[in-house]
Amino acid sequence: MTLHRRALLGAAGLAALAPAAASAQARWQMASPYADGNFQTRNIRAFLQDLEQAAGGRLSIQLHSNGSLLRMPEIKRGVQTGQVQLGEILLTAYANEDPLFDADALPQLVTNYAQARKLSDLQKPFIEARFARQGLSLLYMVPWPPAGLYAQAPVTSLEQLRGQRFRTFSPMTNRFAQLIGAQPTLVQSAELAQAFATGVVQAQITSAATGVDTQAWDYARVFTPLGFSMTKNAVLVSRRALEALPADLQAAVRAAATRAEARGYELSEAAMRETEATLAARGMQVGPPSQQLLDDLARVGRTMADEWVTRAGDDGRRLLEQYRAG
């Protein structure tokens, strides 16, 4: 009788645990350095919503945007150590780790979205291999809108920028300023208006999106779209966390990432059109570059690409050869 009762109690206990086991949920954290209104962040939120819906309640993900949990330099390491399971980074911000992360920052290498897609597809295996060695998996990459030139008057050749105080924000932009004979001046985007107003800088190259964010019409008169560079954001995941999920859920993560990348390109193109239109509507002169300016940029770009290959080694050389072959 006692054994029978114990058996019944054991069965009842297992039955009580079954619903809890069936509803077991993986809980992930994600860190991003960008504000909620940014198109990259909006794309991430759509990605997470898509993924949670596909997971059917088996996965929940909390996004910490605007650097609220981890700052940009901390995010990749945070995913590696398991502090968060997902992260978004600007690849070129990690170029000090590996020059392959900096390929899309080379001037005039990529000037439109078709070229950005081609470089990204070729670059992806190199990035995946590097991430794999660090316990990471690449989910998707999305380019920023192309960068252009901000100045007080139309610039038709790089010679006009010689001697000017040129705003820089990365090793690549610093080297560019050196090569054209300008004076490199490091200025963060939040300080741009004051820097221009006080003459600390006289020109810069950045996207129309940054121009809108910083109200460039208050400090510059001309914006020339150049396709100077189209750097990318990468969304990465802890490989340990990913592989801990059931196989079908891992596949759902990959599928949602594929959709996010396609959607991200559309959002980036829309952001380019909208922000360039905003600059013009605010009174800035927005127009195409002269052929002389494009030729000058191509010349400097070739020099910087050669220097980059020296740093990037055989992988960098192969990447550029594959890209230029088409």
Question: For 10-50, what is each residue's pLDDT tens digit?
Answer: 444 443 443 443 346 899 999 998 888 889 999 999 999 99
Looking at residue 213, what is its pLDDT?
Answer: 81
Provide the 8-state DSSP code for 67. T
Average of per-residue pLDDT across 89-102: 90
CB 178 within 8 A of CB 158: no
Handedness of CA 40, 43, 49, 53 (dihedral sign): negative
Pairing state between β 222-225 and 165-168: unpaired
Looking at residue 66, what is its pLDDT?
Answer: 86
Per-residue pLDDT band at 6 (split at 50, 70, 90): very low
pLDDT at 151 > cutoff 80: yes
Looking at residue 268, what is its pLDDT?
Answer: 96
Phi, psi (deg, nearest 5) at residue 188? -75, 155
pTM recorded for the entire structure: 0.83
* Angle value at C-alpha 299, between 295 and 302, nearest 5 degrees: 135
Looking at residue 3, what is its pLDDT?
Answer: 43
**3-state DSSP call for residue 252?**
helix
Where does residue 232 rank: exposed (0-12), middle (13-18), buried (19+ CB within 10 A)? buried
Where does residue 188 rank: exposed (0-12), middle (13-18), buried (19+ CB within 10 A)? exposed
Average of per-residue pLDDT across 54-76: 93
Q: Residues 63-76, buried b or exposed e (16+ Cβ, 10 A)?
A: bbbeeebbebebbb
Looking at residue 124, what is its pLDDT?
Answer: 97
Q: Which residue has the tokens 């009762």?
A: 5
Looking at residue 24, what is its pLDDT?
Answer: 65
Looking at residue 1, what is its pLDDT?
Answer: 46
User: Over the stretch 96-147, which tens digit does the pLDDT of each residue have?
Assistant: 899 999 999 999 999 999 999 999 999 999 999 999 999 999 999 999 999 9
Region of poorest pLDDT, from 168-172, 183-187, 220-224, 305-309? 168-172
Secondary structure E strands in 99-248: 136-143, 147-151, 165-168, 183-186, 203-207, 222-225, 232-238
Q: Of 182, 194, 188, which Cα lies nearest the Cα of 219?
A: 194
Phi, psi (deg, nearest 5) at residue 242? -65, -45
**56 Cβ contact list (under 8 Å, min separation 6):** none
Distance between CA atoms of residues 29 and 110, nearest Å:
33
What DSSP element (H or E) covers 53? helix 39-55
Distance between CA atoms of residues 209 and 28, nearest Å:
30
Longest C-alpha distance within the chain, in Å? 98
Per-residue pLDDT band at 7 (split at 50, 70, 90): very low
In the chain, the N- to C-terminal Cα span, in Å, equals: 81
Looking at residue 68, what is its pLDDT?
Answer: 92
User: Over the stretch 241-298, which tens digit does the pLDDT of each residue have?
Assistant: 999 999 999 999 999 999 999 999 999 999 999 999 999 999 999 999 999 999 999 9
